[in-house]
Amino acid sequence: MIAVIGAGAWGTALANAMAQGEDVLIWAREPDVVASINSDHSNPLFLPGVELSARVRATTDLRDLAGIDLWLVVPPAQFLGRVLGSAPLEAKPTLVLCAKGIEAGSHRLMAEVAAEAAPGAPLAVLSGPSFAAETARGLPTAVTLAAASEGQAAALAERIARPTFRPYASDDIVGAEIGGAVKNVLAIACGVAIGAGLGENARAAIIARGFAEMTRFGVARGARAETLAGLSGLGDLVLTCGSTQSRNMRLGMALGEGQTAEQALAGKLSVAEGAATAPVLAEAAAKAGVDMPISAAVASLLAGQATVPEVMDRLLNRPLRAEVR
């Protein structure tokens, strides 16, 4: 049996994918979500329109996960530490971290948060181009699965691979994490460009120059550049920047159309992780001395410190430079 923590869109989609091979127990905070999964095989709040396998069962009690050796951990990034802090981790289950973000305040990546909350538990990171609604329906999905060694990642990949869900093993945990966290911020930037009517050239420029800043930041944090060029970096960047299925992209479009961040985020049940990541990334990049002008522009737009024309002006008036350094 596999455990899943968090019954948002991605936790529910992963649970349904895993149920193609093993029974799954998914934990959700909300009794209504648990009741719908158990009685109707659906999660209309977070993943409407998808019929879930009968092999997915749900619980509101984290203690029910004790004894399960493999957990997919899928709460939004800012809640990871708190959720693991209440989980029964005595048996040191393998934790596969699936959130995409950086912890506010500490600037820690998810594996660093989990290492403190679950000392001694083997850790892995699952990240890549994967809209929940598509994975949940069994459409083909490929992701990066990074662990401490490629051997551990390969063994884990064997366990969670399914006919249409294909994990690629890696030993670059930091690289897998940075790609997923940074692409959300860049998707907001692409959304702004589209929402403000700046055109497709602007979108492509943001993807390519955004990838350059993702790589600079990743390498400064110890990632390998080739990981960032893979599924969890470039792959997810292209997916998220290219589709209005992305919540981060849609948030950016609303900003580009003139809404404030407060207006664009009001009443939303689902997360656009880039909104939380952008200010943290801007701080972390400044601290590390890494130039990330697009991410910094997104952070100032979200904070209401600049308008779209102002950030455009700032980006276009930067000194000309060589493309590759």
Ligand X SMILES: O=C(CO)COP(=O)(O)O
Residues at the contact surface with ligand X, assessed by CB under 6 A: 100, 129-131, 184, 187, 236, 239-240, 246-248, 273
* Partner from ligand NDP, ligand X, none contacting 224, C-beta within 5 to 8 A by type: none
Please say which residue, 121 or 160, places its beta carbon nearer to ligand X.
Answer: 160
The annotation status of 273 as a binding-site residue, yes or no, is yes
CB-neighbour burial class of residue 122 (10 A; exposed 0-12, middle 13-18, buried 19+): middle
Rule CB under 6 A: say whether 173 interacts with ligand NDP: no
Please say which residue, 59 or 243, places its beta carbon nearer to ligand X.
Answer: 243
Q: How far is the CB of 236 from ligand NDP (least distance, A)?
A: 8
Rule CB under 6 A: say whether 113 interacts with ligand NDP: no
* Partner from ligand NDP, ligand X, none contacting 75, C-beta within 5 to 8 A by type: ligand NDP
**268 flagged as catalytic:** no
Residue 323 vs residues 214, 274, 320: alpha-carbon distances, Å: 15, 26, 9
Rule CB under 6 A: say whether 28 interacts with ligand NDP: yes
- Secondary structure E strands in 62-158: 70-73, 94-97, 123-127, 141-147
The annotation status of 86 as a binding-site residue, yes or no, is no
The annotation status of 313 as a binding-site residue, yes or no, is no
What secondary structure does DSSP assign to 250-272, as a single string?
Answer: HHHHHHHTT--HHHHHTT--S--
Rule CB under 6 A: say whether 99 interacts with ligand NDP: yes
Instruction: Map residue 73 onto helix, strand or coil.
Output: strand
Please say which residue, 2 or 187, places its beta carbon nearer to ligand X.
Answer: 187
Q: Taking each helix axis from N to C terminus, what angle separates 273-288 and 200-220, rounded to the nearest 10 degrees? A: 50
Query: Per-residue b/e over 133-148, b at no fewer than 16 CB within 10 Å?
Result: ebbbbeeebebbbbbe
Residues labelled catalytic: 183
Residues at the annotated binding site? 6-11, 29, 79, 100, 128, 130, 132, 183, 236, 246-248, 271, 273
